[in-house]
Amino acid sequence: MMIIVSGRDRPPRWATSAIEEFTPWVTHAHEAGMVFTTDDPHNVMAADPELVISSIRRVVFPSVQNVLEKEIKEKGVLAAIARYRQMRLRYPTEYFKERTLNVLGYQQMNAHHVEEAIALFKLNVEMYPRAFNTYDSLGEAYMVHGDRLLAIRNYRKSLALNPENTNAAEKLKQLASKQ
């Protein structure tokens, strides 16, 4: 849900009362937003069509991270990965960020679901094969899982993509000392 509120030439405290009135609507929706514009007293569509279009896009294309978090909670990581692939076919490219799968992977790691984290990080590597951080995260998950060789392989790939990645260099030293 998106609420667009135009507010030019409104009385004092009008914005506060609008927030009080519409906040319950927004807080009860799974994903919602409220936008205030002062460009036009009434016809927002004519005054700021880009605002209207971006608001519609937000409703049609909800947050990738929010959708996947819900899918993981309700159906598990494998279902979320399938959902991600479906969304890639339908959503505009700019809605997908490397960071999203990384956040979801670390949420799984923090919940001690390492195999699920590995699945998400592997998807991230597949989607962003030139991003050093995807390999770094996958390397960490493999290290936590006890897969030393796969951890080394991914940390090396991360370091090859970004020689300044001090985390990968440090982890490789740690893994080499555990031979």
Give the number of other Cβ atoms within 10 Å of residue 88's Cβ. Answer: 13
The structural domain count of the chain equals: 2
Average pLDDT over residues 75-87: 98
Tokens for 120? 């998400």
98, 172: one domain: yes
76, 129: one domain: yes
Instruction: Say how far apart CA 101 and CA 121 lie, in whole Å.
Output: 7
Helix, strand, coil percent values for the chain (each to nearest 5): 70, 5, 25
Residue 106's pLDDT is what? 98
- Give the domain extent around 39: 2-60
Q: Select from 41, 60, 79 the last residue of a domain.
A: 60
Q: Select from 43, 60, 77 the last residue of a domain.
A: 60
Q: Who contacts 58 (Cβ-Cβ below 8 Å, separation ≥6)?
A: 2, 33
Residue 13's pLDDT is what? 75
Tokens for 20? 């009080």
Instruction: Say how far apart CA 175 and CA 55 lie, in whole Å.
Output: 48
The sign of the torsion formed by the CA atoms of 11, 12, 15, 18 equals negative
Residue 144's pLDDT is what? 97
**pLDDT tens-digit series, residues 18-51:** 778 877 877 766 677 777 776 666 677 767 778 7
**pLDDT tens-digit series, residues 96-108:** 999 999 999 999 9
Is residue 167 within 8 Å of 145, Cβ to Cβ?
A: no
Q: What is the mean pLDDT of the chain?
A: 88
Give the number of other Cβ atoms within 10 Å of residue 65's Cβ. Answer: 16
Instruction: Say how far apart CA 87 and CA 106 lie, in whole Å.
Output: 21
* CATH number for position 109: 1.25.40.10
Three-class secondary structure of residue 4 per DSSP: strand
